[in-house]
Amino acid sequence: MLEIDRLERKLARQPRLAERIFTDGERAYAAARPRPARHLAARFCAKEAVAKALGVSAWSFRDVEVVAAGGPPRVRLCGKLADRSRELEVEPVISLTHTRTTAGATALLRRVRRASHRG
């Protein structure tokens, strides 16, 4: 959970922070909405939730990208988080939410089914 105003104030004080935390696609998605910080706050929460679910403590925020393309939001991983996801044979599934004042996200790990080779 994150107070949206808190993120808005932080981004106003440190404009380059958005570039360090959010991908180009995430920033573009938010910029096309009436209150961009609401959508960025939910994505911030999702990034933290995914890292926690995967059990990774040292990671880059840009290693998690929340993608919303005509359906429920999904996650694209790279770096340490992608490595950990492959190692555990899981993929994160997220849910985002926000009110006027607060944003939040949850992340669950879904087991990836391996293709069986029958010969």
> What percentage of the chain carries pLDDT values higher than 90?
89
51: three-class secondary structure by DSSP: helix
- Residue 29 resides in a domain: yes
Per the structure, the count of domains in the chain is 1
List, as own/partner pairs, every contact residues 100-104 make where C-beta atoms lie below 8 angstroms and the sequence separation is at least 24, other chains included: 100/4, 101/3, 101/4, 101/5, 102/1, 102/2, 102/3, 102/4, 103/1, 103/2, 103/4, 103/7, 103/38, 103/41, 103/42, 103/44, 103/45, 104/1, 104/2, 104/42, 104/45
- Residue 116 resides in a domain: no
Please say if the pLDDT value at position 118 is more than 70. no
- Residue 44's CATH number: 3.90.470.20
- Residue 73 resides in a domain: yes
Q: Which pTM value belongs to this model?
A: 0.92
- Residue 118 resides in a domain: no
Indicate the length of the chain as a whole number.
Answer: 119
Domain containing 80 equals 2-111
Dump pLDDT digits (tens) for 47-102: 999 999 999 999 999 999 999 888 899 999 999 999 999 999 999 999 999 999 99
- Residue 10 resides in a domain: yes
